[in-house]
Structure 1
Amino acid sequence: MKNILLTDDLFRGAVSLEHTSEGIKPWRIPYQDYDLYPPNGIDNKAAICAGIRLSFHTDATAVVVKFSPMAEAARLDCLVNGELFAATGITAGDTEVAFSALDQGPKELAIFLPQNTSMTISSLWMNRTRNYG
């Protein structure tokens, strides 16, 4: 497995991305303006990842997403070329999800982040031979 450099262009659907020592946390508001969205960032909903996804082209047959420990149960959906490949549940305390047995050859992957909670992505790993951007 190869560690893929996390860059802003991998994230789709986020209004802003907060770079922390733990990784990249996507937001649905400009996170720098958090105080302008009372109470508490729209009742703490501004950090929920609904609609936010990691999106890229690759020939990898296995992908691992690592993240800060989850505070609550959630789900990640993996789409391959626009079709649902897997819906993987995660529990409180989990720090990674693996999607394996992906088809050989170039494909577009979209990994949708949780609909019910926030998430800070710490790294992305692939057994790829080539990344298509």
Structure 2
Amino acid sequence: MSPLTITARGAATGPVLEITGDLDHRTAPELRRAVDRLTLVTGQLLILDLAGLEFCDSSGITALLAARNLATEQSADIALAAVPANTARILRIAGLDRVFTLHPDTPIATNPRSQPADYQARVTRH
């Protein structure tokens, strides 16, 4: 088991949370607390960078969905970046690859030109 580490930083599109280690029943509440501490501005994009994620169980998936719900409540968007193959497979099986925007890495996710067509309008409007 690898300890969960969550590192927050800012990007042009909004906050980025780099998640490393195991996201499971024991550590999922840590992600929920980290997301709850964020204040998202309307139109921002919360990026969860999963490049260092080693393991994710159903509790971890639930924590990702809770992060999505919080972003939606605050009129923000969410994207997952660098999703490991095994987690991407679970997301695909559960149909969550249609719920989350997935990017191959954080630099692409934080590039406003790689966002949906209306992203720039939403950001400049607010």
Q: TM-score scaled to structure 1, two decimals? A: 0.29
Structure with more helix by fraction: 2
Higher relative contact order (CA 8 A, sep 6+): 1
Q: Which has the larger radius of gyration?
A: 1
Structure with more strand by fraction: 1
